[in-house]
Amino acid sequence: MGSVESNLPGISRRVGYVVLLLCIFLPLTSQAEDRNDGALWTVSQIAVPLDERFAVHMMVQNRWFKNIDSYERTVLRPWISFDWTERIELALGYDRHEFENPVDRHEDRAWQRIAYRHPLRDATLLTHFWMEERFFQGSSTVAYRARLMFGATHPLPHDFGILIRNEFFVDLHGTSRVRRAGLGEDQLYAGINHPLGRWVNLDMGYLMIYLDRKGPDQFNHALLLGLSIKTPEIGSWF
């Protein structure tokens, strides 16, 4: 009996991991008749801490699709974050999406996010709630979308780490540019990260993107390559 009781924390932790992975993977069981396409995303971002709690960020994202044969869009994302507690982060940001394919247009998005991280002995659980207000070129209607993410990180040998996450994009109402209310996009990511130095981190992984489209559903299978830089606190520059 004593040995069983001593193993309960480890058993409970493994059960929790299994439940989390089921929540991440089960929603994305695609059907054979759906459309599938290869893609490539590159992400470059920098974080500049203003002090121990505030930081400003900038991200540039480039996306290729149609089996990496066409350049789709450029995304510019500035934002500011605030560590409310050791586990809770608040953020305000803005996205500019410059599309080149299938048509030349742009989209602006204001967004607010609350993120929570829960450290365990050998992993960290992650979640965030993200609200977007989308402004489309040529339309005065504002489209509201909620984003909910669940994920987990786990350290690997030799300073590598693994990240698994799934993010649901839920349109809160239909507009002339949004087909209908409900789940419009789902992004599943599994990747590894590795520091290239004290301030630079490399990310690489597989991103599967479900898109709700007229006709067959669309699944994009993307290679994601990311480079992240975090500078010292700005006060130490002077």
pLDDT tens digits, one per residue of 61-102: 999 988 888 999 999 999 999 999 999 999 999 999 999 988
What is the pLDDT at residue 141?
86
Q: Does residue 226 have a pLDDT over 60? A: yes
Q: Does residue 118 have a pLDDT over 60? A: yes
Neighbour tally for 104: CB within 10 Å = 9
Side-chain half-sphere CA neighbours of 82 within 13 A: 8
**Can you tell me the distance from the alpha carbon of 31 to that of 33, in angstroms, rounded to the nearest whole number?**
6
What is the pLDDT at residue 237?
78
Residue 155 sits in a domain whose CATH number is 2.40.160.40
- Report percent pLDDT > 90 for the chain: 66
What single letter denotes the amino acid at residue 227?
Answer: L
Least confident of 17-31, 102-116, 145-159: 17-31
Q: How many domains does the chain have?
A: 1
Cis peptide bond upstream of 27, omega within 30: no
What is the pLDDT at residue 163?
96
Q: What is the mean pLDDT of residues 135-148?
A: 91
What is the pLDDT at residue 215?
72
Q: Does residue 13 have a pLDDT over 60? A: no
Closest CA to 189 of 157, 229, 225: 225
Q: Does residue 24 have a pLDDT over 60? A: no
The pair of three-digit structure tokens given for residue 28, joined into one six-digit string:
């994305």
Parent domain of 105: 2-237
Q: Does residue 216 have a pLDDT over 80? A: no
**Can you tell me the distance from the alpha carbon of 115 to that of 99, in angstroms, rounded to the nearest whole number?**
28
Q: Does residue 7 have a pLDDT over 50? A: no
Q: Which of 28-32, 65-69, 79-83, 196-200 has the highest mean pLDDT?
A: 79-83
Tell me, yes or no, if the pTM score tops 0.85.
no
What single letter denotes the amino acid at residue 160?
Answer: F
